[in-house]
């Protein structure tokens, strides 16, 4: 018989989002659902070692948590009318009867309703991320606080405010109507990718990669892909994250130093993730509803499937970035297109494009010149061209703007290289 502890942890990580979503539907309260779920797991920790593992641990937890909701509803006498109806509803469901479902909730999984609630546009993005990780990811408040390098009380307050906002604004626990689904799905996917990016390239702190956030984002994308299987952009998002995550073990060396893409040991890339990501993006593109996630995944697939840096098809990457810029223009996409163009068509012409972007940004008071990777990209091309004085100045500007310590250490090494060449 397996040890209870690890199995309880496994149930919590894998099933808590599904259980939490059902509990919120039953109770209409994030706080009650969290407390009921916590009590159910505490009960499992004390009961299972003595009585043995139940045949269906998830069902056991769900039943225990629903019973706690009934207790809460009976105990709360200050809202008697509302809670008496709630108690009746929970008891009906606990006995296996199905209460009528709202016809507008056309997508049946409770988790889908919950992720749309967590990512409702009435909440700011910080609240969306925190609430998604807390409810669907099952991460504790201290875990989320550590991942985003904020004090635990700050994260706790962020969660409290988000739940209060949902209650006060009467944000519905439902999937949006069909006409709003594409726009709202885009918000959900943005939250998931933001979680992944914060894990893949941490904006601040001493670590470049926070693997637990990458893994959680991939798990959320898998869940969303299962819940909305006909949306190619969700498939593209999952493919993109798998392809990027495949390089995680080679992005820093044993000393914790950043290793850029062209210098990474490709034999250590995760081939299973590359193969799955490539299959997924190819399947998504065959639907002929091309979107930004699919194009970014296609770019990542070109990198991942190149046998070496020298064999990378930069012309294909530049063409994909051009298509991406056409359907989803942004300063960062334009910068990446310019870099790809430099490596495909010539460093001088690519540098001219990068400089034109900087001039346009300055004229329009944009934010590209405040982006450390703009100056890092420009510095790298200047270094390749042997224009070391200009490269050093660009590296200094990138260093001034960079916040992550691993990236700063890499930029410092490059600055020392070009500076020493001038002596």
- The mean pLDDT values, 10 residues at a time, for the chain of 423 residues are 57 78 86 90 88 86 90 69 51 45 44 86 87 82 77 91 89 82 87 84 51 83 88 97 94 88 95 98 97 97 95 98 96 96 97 97 90 96 97 97 90 96 84
Of the candidates 60, 78, 94, which is a domain's last residue?
94
Residue 229, domain member (yes or no)? no
What total of structural domains would you count in the chain?
A: 2
Of the candidates 38, 59, 94, which is a domain's last residue?
94
Residue 350, domain member (yes or no)? yes
Residue 90, domain member (yes or no)? yes
Residue 235 is predicted with a pLDDT of 97
Q: How many Cα atoms occupy the beta-carbon half-sphere of 58 within 13 Å? A: 11
Q: Nearest to residue 223, comparing CAs of 236, 211, 234?
A: 234
Residue 112 is predicted with a pLDDT of 80
Residue 249, domain member (yes or no)? no
Q: How many Cα atoms occupy the beta-carbon half-sphere of 36 within 13 Å? A: 31
End-to-end distance of the chain based on CA atoms, in angstroms?
Answer: 69
- CB-based burial label for 24 (10 Å; 0-12, 13-18, 19+): buried
Asked if 415 and 396 touch (Cβ cutoff 8 Å), the reply is yes
Residue 208, domain member (yes or no)? no
Residue 141 is predicted with a pLDDT of 85
Say which CATH number the domain at 388 has.
Answer: 1.25.40.10
Residue 384, domain member (yes or no)? yes
Residue 382, domain member (yes or no)? yes
**b/e map of 240-273 (b: 16 or more CB within 10 Å)?**
bbbbbbbbbebbbeeeeebeeeeebebeebbeeb
Give the residue numbers spanning the domain of 411.
330-423
Residue 415 is predicted with a pLDDT of 97
Residue 215 is predicted with a pLDDT of 86
Residue 153, domain member (yes or no)? no
Residue 86 is predicted with a pLDDT of 53
Residue 90 is predicted with a pLDDT of 52
Of the candidates 57, 78, 94, which is a domain's last residue?
94
- This prediction has a pTM of 0.77
């Amino acid at each position: 018989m397996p040890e209870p502890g690890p199995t309880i942890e496994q149930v919590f990580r894998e099933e808590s989002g599904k259980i939490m979503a059902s509990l919120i539907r039953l109770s209409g309260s994030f706080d009650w659902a969290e407390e009921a779920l916590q009590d159910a797991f505490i009960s499992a920790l004390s009961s299972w070692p003595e009585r043995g593992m139940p045949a269906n641990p998830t069902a056991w937890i769900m039943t225990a948590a629903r019973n706690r909701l009934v207790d809460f509803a009976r105990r709360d006498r200050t809202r008697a009318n509302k809670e008496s109806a709630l108690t009746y509803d929970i008891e009906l469901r606990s006995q296996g009867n199905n209460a009528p479902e709202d016809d507008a909730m056309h997508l049946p999984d409770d988790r889908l309703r919950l992720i749309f609630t967590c990512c409702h546009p009435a909440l700011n993005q910080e609240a969306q991320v925190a609430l998604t990780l807390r409810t669907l990811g099952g991460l504790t408040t201290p875990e989320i606080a550590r991942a985003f390098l904020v004090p635990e009380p700050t994260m706790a307050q962020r969660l409290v405010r988000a739940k209060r906002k949902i209650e006060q604004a009467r944000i519905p626990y439902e999937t949006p109507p069909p006409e709003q689904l594409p726009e709202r799905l885009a918000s959900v996917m943005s939250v998931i990718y933001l979680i992944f990016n914060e894990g893949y390239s941490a904006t601040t702190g001493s670590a470049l990669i926070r693997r637990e956030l990458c893994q959680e984002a991939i798990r959320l994308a898998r869940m969303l892909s299962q819940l909305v299987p006909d949306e190619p952009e969700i498939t593209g998002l999952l493919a993109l994250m798998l392809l990027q995550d495949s390089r995680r073990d080679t992005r820093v060396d044993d000393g914790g130093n950043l290793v850029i893409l062209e210098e990474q040991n490709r034999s250590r890339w995760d081939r299973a993730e590359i193969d799955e990501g490539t299959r997924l993006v190819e399947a998504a593109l065959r639907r002929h509803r091309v979107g930004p996630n699919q194009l970014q995944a296609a770019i990542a697939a070109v990198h991942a499937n190149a046998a070496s840096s020298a064999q990378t098809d930069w012309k294909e990457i530049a063409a994909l970035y051009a298509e991406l810029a056409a359907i989803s223009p942004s300063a960062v996409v334009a910068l990446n297109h310019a870099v790809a163009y430099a490596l495909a068509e010539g460093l001088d012409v690519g540098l001219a494009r990068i400089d034109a972007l900087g001039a346009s940004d300055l004229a329009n008071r944009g934010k590209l010149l405040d982006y450390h990777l703009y100056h890092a990209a420009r510095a790298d091309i200047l270094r390749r061209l042997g224009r070391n004085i200009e490269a050093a100045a660009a590296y200094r500007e990138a260093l001034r703007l960079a916040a992550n310590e691993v990236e700063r250490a890499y930029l410092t090494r490059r600055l020392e290289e070009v500076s020493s060449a001038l002596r």
